[in-house]
Amino acid sequence: MTDTLRPPATAPTVTVSATEAPRKLNRSLGIVGGTLLTLSCVTPASSLFVLVPTLFNTLGSATALTIGIGSIICVAVAFAYSELGTLIPSAGGEYAMVGTLAGRFAGWLVFIQSLLVVMIVPAVIAIGTAAYLAPIVHVSGPVAGAAVMLAATVAGLLDLRANAWITGIFLVLEVIAAGVVSVLGFAHSQRGLGSLLHGATADATGATSPVGLTAMLGAMGVALFVTQGFSTAIYLSEELENPRRNVARTVLWTLGLSCVVILVPVIAITLGAPDLATLTGGDISSMVAGWSDSALGTFISLCIALAIINAGIVMVIQNSRVLFSSGRDKAWPEPVNKAFGTLNRFNAPWVSTLAVGVPGAALCFAKLDLLMNITGVSVAALYLLVAVAALFSRRGAHKDAPAWRQPLWPVLPALLAGVLIYTMTQLDITALIWTGVITAVASLYWVFYLRPRQDTRWVITLPEDEQV
């Protein structure tokens, strides 16, 4: 229990030779590049066209309200991430922040949740590519997803600054697609704004059913998942210039922009759907085609496909930094640590990149609903642990450290933790069991391998230029 509630008084020192020590990541990103990469990881269009249809299936006209509530929760989460990310700017992200403030076992639990997220999310998004390539080629979702993951892995091995501009170009295309859908939806409005507050679904026969608070809370895991990528700005904190200022700005700008790019089209689709049954069906491509002509529908579909590919590239880039940092922090047997910490001539952690991309391609062949629900549970658990760590952020050496400070502390993180605990009790039971079993196995790894080797294993470090 001591490991969970209190960080070690003195961080253990690991002595390695110059040839064994992992190389450092370069600080080559400004706030614009960081925001472009992070916003691309949120990939608003992919969330809109891949994740939101599943919410339409269960929530109908209550989808926008549910995402709006999730976005409000995410504001509190973003405040916690901004403070902790500027206080502890590490490529390890959540686990480095929580492990430094709340103890190394807590950091390990966070690492496992973030590992689930970084391994599953790219596959979930990539599977959606097939539906939007249909105008030019017919391919199954798993095959298309695997191809996207492998292509993203190759791109992830290249120079980060080049990738920032590539993803920026793709991001423009996906924002255009979201904008066109918004204009078409509002131009063909069939119902008033009041319908957003009175959730209902309809089956194929047109029979309607109300959507209650229980259903909305049950879908909250996916709603949080929709904007989840904003927090990944902290994975780039070792490559951002002036991270103690720019990490917070990148997190907050990304959340704000992604909420606008996602919520506005969701509202437009809800108002513009020809009937409630069509809205509940969630086939956005068909609705766009009905509002316009086939050429515009094809253009939108291809923009969405490019957006998904873009998301895959960025997710592989950012998520590989988590494995890179875990190798540097000695989470594994030494050969694995050394491999994850190896950089190629483009200064990219190439083994870590392959370790994210190749298994991600394999996961494309798993059951999509289960992957999404597990991710929802892991995201909620991740946010909960970060909220708890935020309660420890103003003690000891960190009390007066230079960092962005969130408002309404400690009330806001305490309230956020309570909301997330209740939300988790409403999530899918099967996903909770899967996540619980994986977490239990990882805890045994901690007990029998990491904890007995505390002086040489799972030693959470910060870059030399950012140590308090």
> What does DSSP assign to residue 25?
P
**Cα–Cα distances in angstroms (integers) from residue 340 to residues 75, 315, 457, 464, in the given order:** 33, 17, 15, 19
Binning pLDDT at 50, 70 and 90, where does residue 18 land? very low
Element (H, E) at 300: helix 294-328
Q: How many CA atoms lie within 13 A of 343 on its CB side?
A: 18
Answer for the pair 76, 407: CB distance below 8 angstroms, yes or no: no
Whether 11 shows a pLDDT value over 70: the answer reads no
Provide the terminal-to-terminal Cα distance of the chain, rounded to the nearest Å.
Answer: 25
Q: In the structure encoding, which two tokens stand for residue 143, read together?
A: 């095959």
The pTM of the full predicted model, rounded to 2 decimals, is 0.77
Whether 266 shows a pLDDT value over 70: the answer reads yes
User: Of 156, 126, 132, which is closest to residue 144 (Cα–Cα)?
Assistant: 126
Bridge partners, residue 449, by sequence? none
**Share above pLDDT 70 across residues of the chain, in percent, rounded to a whole number:** 89
Binning pLDDT at 50, 70 and 90, where does residue 160 land? low
**Cα–Cα distances in angstroms (integers) from residue 309 to residues 48, 127, 140, 152, 188, in the given order:** 14, 10, 16, 7, 30
242: left (phi over 0), alpha (psi -120 to 50) or beta: left
Element (H, E) at 415: helix 411-425
Whether 334 shows a pLDDT value over 90: the answer reads yes
Answer for the pair 463, 244: CB distance below 8 angstroms, yes or no: no
105: helix, coil or strand? helix
Query: How is 41-63 classified by DSSP, letter by letter?
Result: HH-HHHIIIIIHHHHHHHHGGGH
**Cα–Cα distances in angstroms (integers) from residue 41 to residues 10, 125, 211, 224, 372, in the given order:** 36, 10, 31, 14, 16
Give the least confident one: 166-170, 344-348, 367-371, 401-405: 166-170
